[in-house]
């Protein structure tokens, strides 16, 4: 029989355990969403501070030598006929983006050309702009030797 105060315990409701579990799951999803938003939308360090931290941690001459060696490998593959002009431009673009990421600490490997234009990396932006038409338009042939020379120039003049 019911109590006089009208209180009904949860055990009298059907599926009360399921509703409790769903409520806790929903609460966990909301908390997880907020953690995700706060973690991945945090402001990044200013570019000057990021560059200073990166410069202290990176041995620029050894990184430069490694990437010049990778450019030499791309040039040799193109000379041997294993890479066409389109592949040469695509690989050099990727190499320069990776080089900038390692030395400057900027996530250039995930940036679009518009993002690169807004960044403070004019040398990289100019080279990638040069590589885009031959890499993405089959009717626009590029000059592999000039692309390799541009990549070497960007890497050697990087400060």
Same structural domain, 32 and 54: no
DSSP letter for each residue of 78-134: HHTTSS-HHHHHHHHHHHHHHHHHHHH---GGG--HHHHHHSS-HHHHHHHHHHHHH
- Most confident stretch, 10-14, 36-40, 122-126: 122-126
Residue 20 in any domain: the answer is yes
- Spatial distance between the Cα atoms of 110 and 120, rounded to a whole number of angstroms: 15
pLDDT of residue 43: 59
Mean pLDDT of 20-41: 89
Mean pLDDT of 72-90: 89
Same structural domain, 25 and 88: no
Among 154, 153, 149, 155, smallest CA distance to 75 is for: 149
Per the structure, the count of domains in the chain is 2
What DSSP designation does 43 have? Answer: P
pLDDT band of 42, cuts 50, 70, 90: low
Whether the CB-CB separation of 135 and 90 falls below 8 Å is answered with: yes
Same structural domain, 115 and 138: yes
Residue 4 in any domain: the answer is no
- Spatial distance between the Cα atoms of 92 and 77, rounded to a whole number of angstroms: 12
Residue 128: domain span: 47-157
Same structural domain, 72 and 150: yes
pTM for this prediction: 0.63
Residue 2 in any domain: the answer is no
Same structural domain, 72 and 148: yes
Q: How far is CA 141 from CA 14, 82, 87, 152, in A?
A: 71, 17, 11, 20
Same structural domain, 111 and 34: no
pLDDT band of 8, cuts 50, 70, 90: low
pLDDT of residue 76: 93
């Amino acid at each position: 029989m019911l109590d006089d105060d009208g209180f009904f315990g949860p055990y009298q409701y059907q599926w009360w355990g399921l509703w409790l579990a769903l409520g806790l799951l929903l609460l966990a999803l909301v908390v997880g969403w907020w953690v995700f938003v706060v973690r991945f939308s945090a402001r990044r360090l200013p570019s000057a501070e990021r560059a200073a931290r990166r410069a202290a941690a990176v041995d620029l001459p050894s990184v430069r030598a490694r990437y010049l060696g990778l450019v030499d490998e791309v040039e040799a593959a193109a000379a041997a006929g294993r890479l066409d002009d389109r592949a040469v431009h695509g690989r050099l673009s990727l190499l320069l983006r990776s080089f900038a990421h390692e030395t400057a600490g900027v996530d250039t490997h995930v940036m679009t050309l518009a993002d690169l234009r807004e960044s403070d990396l004019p040398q990289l932006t100019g080279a990638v702009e040069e590589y885009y038409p031959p890499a993405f338009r089959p009717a626009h042939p590029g000059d592999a030797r000039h692309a390799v020379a541009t990549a070497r120039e960007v890497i050697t003049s990087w400060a």
